[in-house]
Amino acid sequence: MTDRLDKPALGILFICVGVIAISVNDLLIKWLSGGYPLHEMVFARSAIGLIFTFGFVMMEGGPRILRTRTPLLHALRGLLVVLANMTFYAAVAVLPLGQATALFFVAPLFITLLSIPLLGEKVGALRLSAVLVGLLGVIVMQQPWEAEPSGNRGVLLLPVVAALFYALMQVLTRRLGLTTRASALAVYTQGTFLVVSMTFYLVAGDGRFAEGLTDESLIFLLRAWHWPAPEDWPVFIGLGLCSGLVGYCLSAAYRLADAATIAPFEYVGLPLAILWGWLTFGEWPTPATWAGCALIIGAGLFVFLREQIRAAPAPGRRTRWGRR
Biggest distance spanned by C-alpha atoms of the chain: 71
Distance CA 194, CA 43 (A): 5
The candidate with the shortest Cα–Cα distance to 163, out of 119, 116, 101, is: 101
Q: Is residue 171 part of a domain?
A: yes
Over 60: is that where the pLDDT of 159 sits? yes
262 CB contacts (<8 Å, ≥6 apart)?
Answer: 8, 11, 12, 15, 253, 254
At 2-59, the pLDDT tens digits run: 445 678 888 889 999 999 999 999 999 999 988 899 999 999 989 988 888 888 888 8
Give me the pLDDT at residue 152, please.
63
Tell me what percent of the residues of the chain surpass a pLDDT of 70.
Answer: 88
Whole-number mean pLDDT of the chain? Answer: 82
The candidate with the shortest Cα–Cα distance to 289, out of 168, 125, 151, 88, is: 151
Q: Indicate the number of domains in the chain.
A: 1
At 170-200, the pLDDT tens digits run: 788 777 766 778 788 888 888 999 999 999 9
Per DSSP, the chain holds a count of helices (H) and strands (E) of 13, 0
Please say whether the dihedral angle defined by the alpha carbons of residues 76, 79, 83 and 89, taken in this order, is positive or negative. Answer: positive
Q: Average of pLDDT values for 270-288?
A: 89
Q: Is residue 317 part of a domain?
A: no
Q: Is residue 69 part of a domain?
A: yes
Residues in the chain: 324
Distance CA 140, CA 156 (A): 12
DSSP string, 165-185: HHHHHHHHHHHHTTTS-HHHH
Distance CA 63, CA 176 (A): 18
Over 80: is that where the pLDDT of 267 sits? no
Tell me what percent of the residues of the chain surpass a pLDDT of 90.
Answer: 24
Q: Average of pLDDT values for 262-280?
A: 85
At 210-225, the pLDDT tens digits run: 888 888 888 998 999 9
Q: Is residue 316 part of a domain?
A: no
- C-alpha radius of gyration, the chain, whole number: 20
Q: Is residue 322 part of a domain?
A: no
Q: What is the domain extent for residue 191?
A: 8-311
Cα-based torsion angle of the residue sequence 270, 137, 142, 92 in order, rounded to the nearest 10 degrees = 10
User: Of 259 and 40, which is predicted with more confidence?
Assistant: 40
Please say whether the dihedral angle defined by the alpha carbons of residues 79, 17, 97 and 47, taken in this order, is positive or negative. Answer: negative
User: Of 101 and 6, which is predicted with more confidence?
Assistant: 101
Over 50: is that where the pLDDT of 323 sits? no
Q: Is residue 324 part of a domain?
A: no
Is residue 46 within 8 A of residue 194, CB to CB? The reply is: yes
At 56-96, the pLDDT tens digits run: 888 888 889 888 888 888 889 889 988 999 899 989 988 88
Report residue 308's pLDDT band, with 50, 70 and 90 as the boundaries. low
Amino acid present at 63:
P
The candidate with the shortest Cα–Cα distance to 39, out of 187, 210, 166, is: 210
**Strand, helix or coil for residue 313:** coil
User: Of 216 and 201, which is predicted with more confidence?
Assistant: 201
Amino acid present at 293:
C
User: Of 274 and 120, which is predicted with more confidence?
Assistant: 274
Give me the pLDDT at residue 304, please.
67
Q: Average of pLDDT values for 317-321?
A: 36
Q: Average of pLDDT values for 298-302?
A: 78
**Strand, helix or coil for residue 211:** coil
Distance CA 22, CA 28 (A): 10
* Range name among 131-135, 209-213, 317-321 with the lowest pLDDT average: 317-321
The answer for 132, left when phi > 0, alpha when psi is -120 to 50, beta otherwise, is alpha
Distance CA 50, CA 188 (A): 10
Q: Is residue 207 part of a domain?
A: yes
